[in-house]
Structure formats: structure tokens, C-alpha cells
Amino acid sequence: MKLIAGLGNPEKKYDNTFHNLGFMVADKAAELLDVKFSKRECDALVAVTYVKGEKVIIAKPQTYMNLSGECIGRLQARYKLGLADIIAAYDDCDIPAATIRIRASGSGGTHNGMRNAVLCLESEDFPRIRVGIGRPAPETPLANYVLSVIPSHLRESMQSAVQKAAEAAALFAGGVGIEDIMQRYN
């Protein structure tokens, strides 16, 4: 069994913001796997499908970004998932805009949602897909930047990054190892 968790914020006003790139990855992964978000479970909107006979859950936590880990932790406990069977997708200001980086493990870094996931899973040892958003101008607070709408000059390149991230998530769902996925997309 696999869990793809796309991190974001549930209200409509956050739909096209940098901080909802994880939700965008989850939506695109669901599209690639031909499944719809059809129910709520463990404080998440979920899409459930099977890939090569293995159950796959795609989740969009509805707990708001900073508490994303609570939802992921509940799903992990409910389905008795190993850490290697969970992958989180999220925005990251520490890498250039419209790039993706996939890692087998790591800290939450500057991302509060991932810090909460690490706390709730009690480990840094789970895969993640980071979608780069770059840094804001020095005069712009980081919180304002991540909650801002993706500017028009970045939309196409960000959509391309989301597509690649979703493809990586779909490979993960299909049982491709994280090292192979990293070699393909990093």
C-alpha cells in the first residue's frame, strides 16, 4: 500500500498559491492514475485506486498546512503504513522556482507543514517531492510570499514542475523505488 500526501490549504482562496503546490501535485497524480477525490478520511480528501494490484491513497490534508502531519500520521496509523510507503509533495522556497527535488528522507527544513509531518511521523525517514518556489524579494515576508498567487510569468513553468512531480508520484504508486525516481527526476 502507498500513500501520496499533497500538502496545502483547503480554502478556495489558496487554490493558485505557491503553498498549494502539493495539492496541485496530488490533483495531477490523481488525474494520471485516473481516480477522483471522492471521500473524506482522517481529516483528508482522499482518492483511492489500485496500481499493479496495490492499494494507493492520494490525500489532501484538510488540517491546513502547518498541521498536515496530523492527518498523515492518522492515515499511517489507520493503514499501518511503513515510512517508505509514504511520499509527501510540497512547495519549497529553498530550491529554485519550477524545479523539483526528490529525496528519500530529510528534515522538515524551513517548511512548517513538513516539520509537522516529521514530528507526527516521529521520523525524517520518508520520501518527499519538493517543488521549488524560490525566495521572495528581501522586503517580502516569507509567509506573504508562500500564500501569494503564482504570478503569470511563472505559471507555465510551475505547471511543468507539477506535472513532473505528479509523474514521479505515480511511479512511486506503481512500486518504482525512490532511488530510481530520484535518478530520473533530480
184 neighbors 167 (Cβ within 8 angstroms)? no
Q: Which alpha helices (DSSP H) does 33-151 contain, by range?
A: 68-79, 112-121, 142-146
Helix axes 152-173, 178-185, angle to 10 degrees: 150
| Residue 133 to residue 93: CA distance in whole angstroms | 5
Residues acting as catalytic residues: 19
| Residue 148 to residue 151: CA distance in whole angstroms | 8
